[in-house]
Structure 1
Amino acid sequence: MKYALAGLIGLTVLTGCGPASEEAKPTEKAAADIKDSAFNPNYKNYLKTLASDEFEGRAPASEGGEKAVSFIENHFREWGLKPYDEENNSYRQPLPLVKLMPYKVSSLSFSGESAPESMEYRTEMMAWTPRVVEEVNLNDSDVVFVGYGIVAPEYDWNDYEGLDVEGKTVVMFVNDPGYATGDPELFNGNAMTYYGRWTYKYEEAARQGAKAAFVIHETGPAGYGWGVVAGGSPVKFDLKRDNKNMDRAAVEGWITEKSANALFASVGKSLEEMKEQAVSGEFKPQSLDIQAAMTINNKYEYLDTNNVIGYIEGTKYPEEHVIYMAHHDHLGMDPVREDDPIYNGAQDNASGTAALMAMAEEFSKQPRPERSIVFAAVGAEESGLLGSAWYANNPLLPLGKAVGGINMDVMNVYGPMKDMVVVGYGNSNMDDYLKLYVEAQDRYIAPEPTPEKGFFYRSDHFNLAKKGVPMLYAKGGNDHFTKGREWGEEQRAIFNRDAYHKPADEFDENWDLRGVQQDMSLFYAVGEELANSREWPKWAPGNEFEAARKATQDMRK
């Protein structure tokens, strides 16, 4: 029964020559049918349950988090999905975490002839240790400016070229040179690349042997203010690691613009002068002729939570697979709050987890596809995309044979929208597979409005993209079919202001879930097409993830 749901729009799929043909236009009535169709009537119940007070905000390794895991697992079993651990008939993929709690952080002090004043914790700098140790000390560590801290062969860029930073403290700008210059020919122009993410910069600094790495905070290129950096909890989570594994820098952190100016004054330069130097194309790392010192006292504990993985095995090509992904965790509870201590996380991301469940339920009712379909409800996303990172390193099926994937994070609960916003638009031709179905709903694809903020690198699909898997991250936009764009933008703004990562993100009976149904039908159609074709989506030429995909191409022959 091919296209059990996509059949609503009367589409014909052509395989062997790329995504669905532009000539297969649906009728006007068919487009109207899918626009208002109910993809899965059980969706609301899944959403309402996951976002309920009973689940206590679904924090990793909490009682509420365990309830969420059990809820998803029980439904996967009910629908007859094959389990992640077939030997034990378990859908749980153990996700071992470590909780890092810096309880005493000194100021960041300097020595040297032109040394600036010490930088105070939280107000002038933020710092922590990613190492699983009780104390780290930074003593007389030479400070070196490394531009943007990027090593990107595909862009012929290496800020560390000819430099040995073993044991040193590196300082670098956030984002990448394309954003800084606005040059569309440099990196990806205004749109942030992977190399612009602060997480990459810490990883690269560690690979280079740095003892400490500090990123200069600027609100524009970072995409958020200093309050986001310094105002949250200093507690961090990571994947469980051996105490002796010191493949991370001892200190990671941020410094303010004002602090950076003070550092650069040691060599008679300003922040803007150093930025001009960093984007010149002829950049050379520069010692600041000062030494840094600080101490971080740390506590840690190990925690155990789970990803929940089920799959439908393909009839012809069982190792080739399509991945649907959503994170089931949120922020849990804050016992200090007396008014409302539960961070229910209804939109973020009970809405996406419920969509994943609805997708699995619908596929389970249909004849098995030729390729497998994996449903991954991952944990600890709010703690740093950890569940998806663990899955990417410990996949159910070889990721070299992953056809492509769809990530669902914060679904549209405001009703049918004309636009479908693609985050990371143009990264791969997964956009093309989506386009025809979007148009069948009398809608249009819209690139994300703020690509410079790097949202493509801030949700779970990113960890699979790093392994070379083309990933689609899209969601209903703001252009409401009847109420217009201004109304839609207002709803998003209210959520971001009043509810995002706050207790107010609760289920609302007044939500218009036709918007979610609308988008789920699209995601189903794209996945169903890929699961019954011989196509392999591709990254755009020159994309930073293209090399990882090419490295596994022999697996797909």
Structure 2
Amino acid sequence: MTTLSRFTNLAAALAAASLLAACSEPATDVNTAEPAKTQTEEAQQTLKLTEVNPRLGEYIKTLSSDEFQGRAPATKGEELTVAYLEDNFRRIGLKAIDGDSYKQPVSLVQIDPKEVSAMALSGDNVPAQFAYRDEMTAWTKQVTEQVEVKDSDMVFVGYGIVAPEYGWNDYEGLDVKGKTVVMFVNDPGFATQDPKLFNGNAMTYYGRWTYKYEEAARQGAAMALIIHETDAASYGWGVVAHGSPIKFDLINENKNADLAKVEGWITTESAEKLFANVGTDLATMHKKALEKDFAPVPLNTKASITVKNNLRELTSSNVVGYIEGSKYPDEYVLYMAHWDHLGMDFSNPTNKVFNGAQDNASGTGGLLALAEYFTQQPQPERSVVFVAVTAEERGLLGSAWYAANPVFPLEKTVVGINMDVMNVYGPMKDMVIVGLGNNNAEDILIKYTKQQGRYAVREHNPEAGIAYRSDHFNLSKKGVPILYAKGGNDHFEKGADWGKAQRAEFNKCCYHKVNDEYDDNWDLRGAQQDLFLFYQVGNELANSRSWPNWNEGNEFRALRDASEAQRTARCVRGSA
């Protein structure tokens, strides 16, 4: 039992961050005496005022062409992509980071499990084993040819969460060194739908499987297993069990020896068998995991498993350019998009290229368009950085490398703005802000959204944890406030139902398929609309003294607060 209620917010009572400056560039004049405009006329006027770069379509079309071979890291496609980005960064006048080079090398390792044994079990009333992929799935991120977990005691640890700001510690009083921890996916807020518990229906990072493996490793577990439940995970068993078993990771000195030897999932049916061995069931354990006096439950079962790997080291590159600030060059507004996609499908006899036009040539093209627009405006007081990261499709690895090895200090990074899968369906009334309510940089974005005659909304499925599934998340984990937003479904001219239908069709026919190709009939007015918003937000912050922060109670607030002292020593160009 924890010493304080598990439902108590233990975050330190720090002074709330001051509101961001309300002043901004004035909106373009509109004759208010004119008759009321139709929706079509209003949309046309808005777009006339907000076009950023007529070359946007050209950038997207080139990056997603067959010539670029699907832009997989460490391939000919990467060579072409990185060269194209460097050439354009140089042409538009961005400063390079290493002589005349814009490349930040990223060291990757491919871990291909050539053999995964069944998970052998020993206990009074448990099956002899769980079959690989049918009843469990497992892998290792340790960079070694073989790992073995043998006769490891299994223990149920609730949600596997240690969250001091919520007064929550599922590992309280437990030593799990060498043991196998079993836990639920998502977090207690989702389980209860209580808006006062964690973040209610909206997933916090504590609900993500990545966090649960990280925490298990910090606790010293040998193996970490998450119980798969479709609603809580937001995807079916097939996604975790039957996707590619090949893992990618960053190369580091300890070869991930500090991670659990084995990570994985088990089915709900497998969990029921483990719980039955100690006289209980899944439903009862769900209730128990939410109790104030929850204590971990030994499962009276030992687990053994062996994973054998083929290893391959790879080198890829992030591409980084910047505009140096005129007055505060050591403070940075950062824009980010991932340039990579899935490469080639050599088994396809007719269409072998994963072109990745929407995902994410659109975001990378948007990054180029926005950078070019910035270079045509007055020099900002703070520096503005443009980062095209690699290996997002391999697990957000390029952004993780940048976060671990930042070209520019993260404690002096004002905000990060991520662009991933831009709107190609025309002007939208709604601006979807992923994780709306997390930080006060959103106030600026919402202000400019309203100036376009639009409105801000949260993503429709916050329980799915979308806020933790794109590159901006790696900046979040370092405390940098981020914005991840895009035009939604409520089309100015065709309505919300039409917009929803376009998104649904893309998800069905094109997402991560060879059909994600450039279409000359795309309506990029909406992307231009969004890019101008991103420009306005970044430009205001680049010419202000504001330092956005995460809102009170957010899991990343303490990280930002901890770096506050490092923002006090500021270089002011021209000062004594």
TM-score (normalizing by structure 2): 0.92
Give 1:29 shift.
5.7
CA distance in 1, matches of 2:25, 2:108: 50
- Tell me, yes or no, if the aligned pair for 1:468 and 1:548 is still in contact at 8 Å: yes
- Say whether 1:52 aligns with 2:65: yes
- Tell me, yes or no, if the aligned pair for 2:20 and 2:440 is still in contact at 8 Å: no
CA distance in 2, matches of 1:384, 1:533: 34
Which residue in 2 is equivalent to 1:295? 306
- Tell me, yes or no, if the aligned pair for 1:132 and 1:242 is still in contact at 8 Å: no
Which residue in 2 is equivalent to 1:178? 189
- Say whether 1:79 aligns with 2:81: no
Give 1:21 shift.
4.8
Residue 259 of structure 1: which of 267, 270, 274 is its match?
270
Give 1:78 shift.
1.2
Amino acid at match of 1:35: L
Amino acid at match of 1:42: R
Which residue in 1 is equivalent to 2:365? 354
Which residue in 2 is equivalent to 1:34? 46
- Say whether 1:235 aligns with 2:246: yes
Which residue in 2 is equivalent to 1:222? 233
Give 1:268 shift.
1.1
Which residue in 1 is equivalent to 2:200? 189
Task: Spell out the pairing of 1:39-438 with structure 2 (5 A cutoff).
Answer: 39-85=52-98, 88-242=99-253, 245-438=256-449
- Tell me, yes or no, if the aligned pair for 1:179 and 1:221 is still in contact at 8 Å: yes
Give 1:339 shift.
2.6
- Say whether 1:528 aligns with 2:530: no
Give 1:536 shift.
1.0
Gaps of 5+ in 1: 1-15
- Say whether 1:507 aligns with 2:518: yes
Give 1:369 shift.
0.6
- Tell me, yes or no, if the aligned pair for 1:128 and 1:296 is still in contact at 8 Å: yes
Amino acid at match of 2:207: G
CA distance in 2, matches of 1:199, 1:17: 33
Gaps of 5+ in 2: 1-17, 33-41, 569-576
Which residue in 1 is equivalent to 2:504? 493
Amino acid at match of 1:74: D
CA distance in 2, matches of 1:182, 1:58: 41
CA distance in 2, matches of 1:26, 1:221: 46
CA distance in 2, matches of 1:28, 1:165: 65
CA distance in 2, matches of 1:29, 1:351: 34
TM-score (normalizing by structure 1): 0.95
Residue 20 of structure 1: which of 19, 22, 30 is its match?
22
The secondary structure found in structure 1 opposite 2:129 is: coil
What is the RMSD of the two structures over their aligned residues, measured on CA atoms?
Answer: 1.5
- Tell me, yes or no, if the aligned pair for 2:334 and 2:417 is still in contact at 8 Å: yes
* Paired residue total: 540
Residues 58-87 of structure 1: per-residue CA shift (max 9 Å, x gap): 0111111221111111111112211121xx
Aligned-pair identity (%): 61
User: Cα distance 1:29–1:123, how it changes in 2: closer, same or farther (>3 A)?
Assistant: farther
Which residue in 2 is equivalent to 1:11? none
CA distance in 1, matches of 2:236, 2:445: 34
Between 1:243-252 and 1:398-407, the stretch displaced more is: 243-252
Which residue in 1 is equivalent to 2:10? none
Amino acid at match of 1:523: F
Give 1:39 shift.
1.4
CA distance in 2, matches of 1:451, 1:490: 20
CA distance in 1, matches of 2:75, 2:294: 48
The secondary structure found in structure 2 opposite 1:281 is: coil
Amino acid at match of 2:502: Q
Amino acid at match of 1:54: E
Give 1:244 shift.
5.3
Residue 558 of structure 2: which of 547, 551, 554 is its match?
547
- Tell me, yes or no, if the aligned pair for 2:122 and 2:128 is still in contact at 8 Å: no
CA distance in 1, matches of 2:440, 2:177: 41
Residues 417-474 of structure 1: per-residue CA shift (max 9 Å, x gap): 0000000000001211011211111110011111000000000000001111110000
CA distance in 2, matches of 1:51, 1:93: 22
Residues 255-286 of structure 1: per-residue CA shift (max 9 Å, x gap): 11111111111111111111111112221011
CA distance in 2, matches of 1:25, 1:63: 45
Amino acid at match of 1:170: V
CA distance in 2, matches of 1:468, 1:553: 10
CA distance in 1, matches of 2:47, 2:469: 29
Amino acid at match of 1:429: N
CA distance in 1, matches of 2:106, 2:546: 32
Give 1:116 shift.
2.8
Amino acid at match of 1:141: S
